[in-house]
Chain A
Amino acid sequence: MISTIAQILAAVSIAVPSDTSAATAEAGPEAEPADTTLLQEVSVTAVKQTDRLLELPVASTVTGRAEIERLGVTGIKGISDVVPNFYMPEYGSRITSSIYVRGIGARMDQPAVGLTVDNVPILNKDAYDFDIPDMAEVVMLRGPQSTLYGRNTIGGQINVTTISPMRWEGWRFMAEAANGLTFRINAGWYHRFSRKAGMSATAAFTSSRGFFRNAYNNSHTDKERSGSIRVKAHYNPSTRVTIQNVLSTSVLRQGGYPYEYTGTGEISYNDTCFYRRFLLSDGLTVRGRLDGVELTSITTYQYIDDNMTLDQDFLPLPYFTLTQKKRESALTEDLIAKGTNTDIPYRWTAGFSGFYKHLRMQAPVTFKDTGIATLIENNRNDANPDYPIRWDERQFVLGSRFTIPTWGVSFYHESRLELGRWHLGAGLRLDYEHTSMDYISQLSTSYTVYHSPSSGATPELFNHVPIDIDDSGRLSRHFLTLIPKVTALFDVADGCNVYANVSKGYKAGGFNTQMFSDVLQQRLMTQMGIGSRYDINDIVGYRPEKSWNFEIGSHLEFIDGRLGIEASLFYIDCRDQQLTMFPDGTTTGRIMTNAGKTRSLGGELSVRADVGGGVTLTGSYGYTDAKFRKFFNGITSFDGKFLPYVPRNTLFAQALWKLPLKRGGWTMVFDLNVRATGKIYWNEANTLSQPLYAQLGASAALANDKLEIQLWGRNLTDTRYHTFYFMSMGNEFLQRGKPIQAGVTVRLNINNRNNKNYR
């Protein structure tokens, strides 16, 4: 019965009939790939790259399924530090998906790193942080990947692939309990109807009470509940054609924002905070193989509907709150052609990609009693105590609504020529993007001016001032850029190569929607005679970020692959780097600004050694020295200062011991690891910083081919550290990192076809 339903679902999902005629005594799926091997069918990495990653002139890290499960990785945040120079801190809520790679990063708006999940390119950074059950592997390509992957891959590209029903059949269950009343449950069903068709359905649920309390009401601030469903269908109508469709959806309900005020050391705020998000995506990949050419079409749709509500002052006083609601739909198409003729020493990839996304957003800021008194009345009355004012109502709304359609098209090509032991490559992408914004800013409120004729006299009404602002307008920007790259790789010996590449990175420009409440505040103040006039066109837009990445590196394998080393050195020259700034004064907005010129240099080293006796040692270290070459924010020059929020060092070291037991096919797996991050400067002036800190992790697992019981712990030394710092209205806030965590995870895999267990 289940099989019948599944066949129907599979047929609907990929819009082609499934062929079950061969679903009888065929051999099981091919053997499980090793942790670091790619599932070759239709992953975008395999589609776009012309060769195995280790044979390409690119710094990459592939994290396989076993390592993902061992480290408890539930999303891309989990590979922070594991991938050298990759840092994705955890703070705020899941809308805050800040990623820094090699000194390139962004806290808001355009991401610095591209992300695909089962080939769906996630266009909005607000949707980067979500749990992805049953990941098969995470591929991280470091350095600009803009030639092949396009916009917003200036720091790198992450491609996540989930387990395929064509590789593994059966049921997969996972249950986990940890401190902080954290529970996770996953269930996955993987079925192959025949050699031609297969389908999987995965559901996951997570609940966590969290670790931090809001002292104002003693509630937990970082509580979270989320759930997701993924349906994946494969159909191979012939040996030359592969069709895959992946439909995913997830729901998130999250508390939020455990920001502690440095003045008291407490998390304490009075207004409601939460983040809610609904995600839906569908990716259809069709891959056809002709003689000498492989054609792939990746068509995706994605939808995000979220609501971020903040006590924006994060104090136990009614200053102001923000509610940011948005709905964004996006369509993408990537048509890729790749030469597959192995008889000639030439490889090529060419493609066309286009996207359209449509964002509707509203972001009302509600000023409350203390905010009106402190930020408005006091400022005004300090300036003119003889004619004091009082707001007529103790709450008003600065309303902002936006509609932002964005579209882009690009053509790209990459060639690779083998000349003996030399592999020379070159690529070029032409990228055009157009974005516009229709905005409506509204404010309707009033206040009364009083006058005291003499000291001590009862104030008399002097004037009543209504304020009605109803601004609307349309802004547009378009960007055209060429993104080249050249590469050279030399095969030193079998499994050993050195390479060099020069590539351009590109991050799109856009609009500072966050500034509109500030613009409106200034308009309000202007009507009161105080404040600055903003030219919306000047302050709201920001330009694309462009970089040149110069890199040399090496992939080395020795002793039959038991020792693997990857090393790279890089220098990045970045123009117009997009950085988030908090404007001076009592304003409440944030602004994305193009920070003159920056440069980043550093290196990465990854080592994996199988030392025998079931012991594997793994280490990765990244060093980044990222500084402003030229940046003047209008008040101060920051030339020579370190870029804020960028860790100078990332380190991951792991010792793994697999100990087969003599009975029942059981194996004990012990894992001891450490992650270290820092030093991180929190501001442009480099006066505040988080020193280098380390977190110890360990796990012990007892497993056979069906069952695994894992005890694990993270941050076992309970290291205190901070992941974020910001100032608001002159107040300083920090987010503390998660304390010691410990839990138990049970995994049960039931094979349908007695194929090799995907554990």
Chain B
Amino acid sequence: MNNKILVIPALALLLGAGGCKNDDQPTATTSYSIPAINLITPLDGETAPYASQGSYKFSYDLYAQTVTVEGSNLMIDNTAQTFTAGPVRYSGNANEIRYTAAEGTVFPSSPWEVRDFGFIITDRVYRAPSQFPGITGSSAQTPRLVMNYRLDDKYKVATFASETTYKGETTTSYPAGDGTETFQTKDITYRVVIDIKEKKADVVLYDAQFAPKAPKLNSIGLKGLDVTYSDGAYSVSGSEIIPLVPEGSSTTPYPSFVFNTFTLTTTGADLTTVKADFQVAGRFKGSFAGSCIQEQE
């Protein structure tokens, strides 16, 4: 899959007359499916949130510039469910297709009505600078589907990908002399690869540097972190993790850079922003806030 799937509907927006379809016009359609992990939060206040692999099919009517979204493999009560929303009129460009339902819009579907529906299919995502031995991740990061909706008032659903790369600002404080000094950098990239079946995650930090004169590690991997879900969010965490550093085609443990703690948690309803807190080697206390979506240029 590549961003051609964005270009075709975007071209329709650019070229089409739009909105005045009648029976005399020929039909031009295109469709594709995007896999996504659904973070499902039951709203009964009792059942714990959980994640499952799902898929969304987008069917475009290029003349009408509308799209119909069909969700499948939505695991509710251990049963794969489907729903349909649309057709709705989308907007966007070659990098992004989006739709946000007007407040109060309800898409009738069986067995639930779909409410507060909206999505973005975007190519503006950060990518991992390189692969990491032993952490393969998903080969189909892009385009990324960011989708949120409710099923009646029973379930809240947000999508995320099995592999996501985040960039932002990392701030580290470390002992220096009699006090503490602070180091800030926007160079560090965080890549998170989640295995929802095992509820485990691997995290790779690229260009990791925690003090001005500390060595810059090209990439370090934290393997086997725990994944937990909460109300509309997921977290990746672990303690006393010995990171791995690639050397040649394999990796070498770096006990001197032990991560005493590491926690990364999503901060927004659309699961595109995260914050992270960590402590390295008992000395470096770091925090990170970033996003997987690049700013619009």
Within 8 A of B (CB), among A441-498: 449, 462-463, 465-467
Assess whether B215 is in contact with A527, with CB atoms less than 8 Å apart.
Answer: no
A383 touches B252 (CB 8 A): no
Interface flag for A661 (CB, 8 Å): no
State in angstroms the CA–CA spacing of A443 and B247 once bound together: 16
Residues of B within 8 A of A467 (CB): 248
Provide the residues of chain B in CB contact with A382, threshold 8 Å. Answer: 215
B253 at the interface (CB under 8 A from A): yes
State which of B129, B218, B255 has its C-beta within 8 Å of the C-beta of A529. Answer: B218
Residues of A within 8 A of B254 (CB): 383-384, 386-387
Query: Do A449 and B252 touch across chains, with their CB atoms under 8 A apart?
Result: yes
A532 touches B207 (CB 8 A): yes
Interface presence of A614 (CB below 8 A): no
Find chain A residues with CB under 8 A from B252 CB.
Answer: 384, 387, 449, 462-463, 529
In the complex, chain B residues whose CB is within 8 Å of the CB of A532: 207, 216, 218
A383 to B257: give the CA distance in the assembly, Å: 8
CB of B217 within 8 Å of the partner chain: yes
Answer whether residue B139 sits at the interface, using C-beta atoms and an 8 A cutoff: no
Whether a CB of chain B sits under 8 angstroms from the CB of A530 is yes
| Contact present for B248 and A530 (CB under 8 Å) | no
**Chain A interface mostly:** mixed
Instruction: Indicate if the CB atoms of B218 and A386 lie closer than 8 Å.
Output: no
**Residue B256 lies at the interface, judged by CB distance under 8 Å to chain A:** yes
- The interface residues of chain A lying within 8 Å CB-to-CB of B256 are 383-386
Flag if A526 contacts B218 (CB, 8 Å): yes
The CA of A527 and the CA of B130, in the complex, are separated in Å by 12
Tell me whether B218 and A384 are in contact (CB under 8 A). Answer: no
Interface 1/0 per residue, B239-264 and A, CB below 8 Å: 00000011110101111110000000
Are A383 and B129 within 8 A (Cβ)? no
Q: How far is the CB of B247 from chain A (nearest CB, A)?
A: 5
CB distance from B208 to the nearest CB of A (A): 10
Q: Hey, what's the 0/1 contact readout for B121-134 against A, CB within 8 Å counting as 1?
A: 00000000100000
Q: How many angstroms between the C-alpha atoms of A382 and B254 in the bound complex? A: 11
**Chain B residue at minimum C-beta to C-beta distance from A462:** B252
- Let me know if B255 and A463 touch, CB within 8 A: no
Query: Is A531 located at the chain interface by the 8 A CB criterion?
Result: yes
- The distance in angstroms between the C-alpha atoms of A744 and B217, with both chains bound, is 62
- Does B215 contact A530, Cβ atoms closer than 8 Å? yes
- Which of A383, A385, A466 is B215 in contact with, Cβ under 8 Å? A383
The 4 A-B pairs of least Cβ separation, nearest first, read A529-B245, A465-B248, A386-B255, A383-B215
Residues of A within 8 A of B207 (CB): 532-533
A528 within 8 A of B: yes
Chain B contact residues, CB within 8 Å of chain A: 129, 207, 215-220, 245-248, 250, 252-257
Known contacts A383-B256, A384-B256, A449-B252; decide if A465 and B247 are in contact (CB<8 Å). yes
The 8 A CB mask of A514-546 against B (1 = contact, 0 = none) is: 000000000001111111110000000000000
The complex places the Cα of A85 from the Cα of B220 at a distance, in Å, of 53
Q: Please state if A383 and B217 are interface contacts (CB–CB under 8 Å).
A: yes
25 A–B contacts from the bound complex (CB under 8 Å)? A384-B252, A385-B256, A386-B254, A386-B255, A387-B252, A387-B253, A387-B254, A387-B255, A449-B247, A465-B247, A527-B246, A527-B247, A528-B247, A529-B217, A529-B219, A529-B246, A529-B247, A530-B216, A530-B218, A530-B245, A531-B216, A531-B218, A532-B207, A533-B129, A533-B218
Residue of B nearest to A635 (CB): B212
Give the nearest-CB partner of A389 in chain B. B247
User: Which residue of chain B lies nearest to A527 when distances are taken between CB atoms in the complex?
Assistant: B248
Q: Tell me if A525 and B248 are in contact (CB < 8 A).
A: no
Complex Cα spacing A529 to B252, Å: 9
Alpha-carbon separation in the docked complex, A387 to B242 (Å)? 13
Partner of B220, one of A387, A463, A529: A529
Nearest Cβ in chain A — how far from B286, in angstroms?
A: 17
Q: List B contacts of A465 (CB < 8 A).
A: 247-248, 250
Instruction: Give the interface SS of chain B, mostly helix, strand, loop or mixed.
Output: strand
Q: Given contacts A384-B254, A386-B255, A533-B129, could you give 5 more A-B pairs where the C-beta distance is less than 8 Å?
A: A463-B247, A466-B248, A529-B217, A529-B219, A530-B217
**Which residue of chain A is the closest to B220 with respect to CB atoms?**
A529
Chain B's closest residue to A526 (CB) is: B218
* A463 / chain B contacts, CB cutoff of 8 Å: 247-248, 250, 252
CB-defined contacts of A530 to chain B, threshold 8 Å:
215-218, 245
Q: Which residues of A contact B219 (CB under 8 A)?
A: 529
How many angstroms between the C-alpha atoms of A379 and B220 in the bound complex?
16
B245 touches A384 (CB 8 A): yes
Assembly CA distance A379 to B216 (angstroms): 11
A674 to B252, CA, bound (A): 65
State A387–B250 Cα separation when bound (angstroms).
14
Residue of A nearest to B219 (CB): A529
Interface mask (A80-107 → B, CB under 8 Å = 1, otherwise 0):
0000000000000000000000000000
* Complex contacts, A526 vs chain B, CB 8 Å: 218
Please give the distance in Å from A528's CB to the nearest CB on chain B. 6
Query: Which residue of chain A lies nearest to B248 when distances are taken between CB atoms in the complex?
Result: A465
Q: How long is the Cα–Cα vector from A530 to B219 in the complex, in angstroms?
A: 8
Proximity string of chain A (584-598) to chain B, C-beta cutoff 8 Å, 1 when within and 0 when not = 000000000000000
**Complex alpha-carbon distance, A53 and B246, angstroms:** 66
**Interchain nearest-CB distance for A215 vs B (Å):** 32
Q: What is the minimal beta-carbon distance from B206 to any residue of chain A, in angstroms? A: 9
**Chain A residue contacts of B129, Cβ below 8 A:** 533
Distance, CA A467 to CA B247, complexed state (A): 9
- Cα-based distance from A386 to B253 in the complex (angstroms): 8
A525 partner residues in chain B, CB cutoff 8 A: 218
- Min distance, Cβ B156 to any Cβ of chain A, angstroms: 40
Chain A residues with CB under 8 Å of B253's CB are: 386-387
Q: Chain B residues near A449 (CB, 8 Å)? A: 247, 252
Alpha-carbon distance between A533 and B246 when the two chains are bound, in angstroms: 14
Cα distance A463–B246 when bound, in Å? Answer: 11
Return A529 CB to nearest CB of chain B, in Å.
4
Interface centre among B246, B247, B256 (most CB of A within 10 A): B247
8 A Cβ contacts from A21-50 to B: none
Query: Restricting to A374-407, which residues have a CB under 8 Å from any CB of B?
Result: 379, 382-387
Q: Please, how many angstroms separate the alpha-carbon atoms of A387 and B252 in the complex?
A: 7
CB A424 to nearest CB in B, in angstroms, measures 48
Chain B residues lying within 8 Å of A387, measured Cβ to Cβ, are 252-255
Residue of A nearest to B209 (CB): A532
Docked pose: A129 CA to B216 CA in angstroms: 42
Instruction: Kindly list chain B residues whose C-beta atoms are within 8 Å of the C-beta of A529.
Output: 217-220, 245-247, 252
Bound-state Cα–Cα, A527 to B133, Å: 12
Q: What is the CA–CA distance of A528 and B218 in the complex, to the nearest angstrom? A: 8
Q: How close is A486's CB to chain B, nearest CB, in angstroms?
A: 40
Closest to A468 in B: B248
Residue of B nearest to A382 (CB): B215
Question: For A383, what are the chain B residues with a Cβ–Cβ distance below 8 Å?
Answer: 215, 217, 254, 256-257
Cα distance, A305 to B149, chains bound together (Å):
72
- B220: which A residues are within 8 A, CB to CB? 529
Interface 1/0s, chain A 351-383, versus B by CB < 8 A? 000000000000000000000000000010011
Tell me which residues across on chain B come within 8 A of A533, comparing CB atoms: 129, 207, 218
CB distance from B284 to the nearest CB of A (A): 13
Name the residue on B nearest A528 (C-beta). Answer: B247
Of listed A379, A527, A529, A531, residue having the most chain B CB within 10 A: A529
State A385–B219 Cα separation when bound (angstroms).
18
- How near does chain B come to A350, taking the closest CB pair, in angstroms? 46
Q: Which residue of B lies closest to A466 (CB)?
A: B248
A379 to B215, CA, bound (A): 8
Give min CB distance, A534 to chain B, whole Å.
12
Chain B nearest CB, measured from A636 CB (Å): 12
Q: Which of A385, A465, A525 has the most CB of B within 10 A?
A: A465
Residues of chain B contacted by A527 (CB below 8 angstroms):
246-248
Closest to A449 in B: B252
Across the interface, name the chain B residue whose C-beta is closest to A383.
B215
| Nearest CB in chain B to that of A385: its residue | B256
A residues near B216, Cβ cutoff 8 Å: 530-532
CA distance A529 to B215 in the complex (A): 10
User: What's the nearest-Cβ distance from chain B to residue A457, in Å?
Assistant: 15
Q: Most chain-B Cβ atoms within 10 A of its Cβ — which of A382, A449, A533?
A: A533
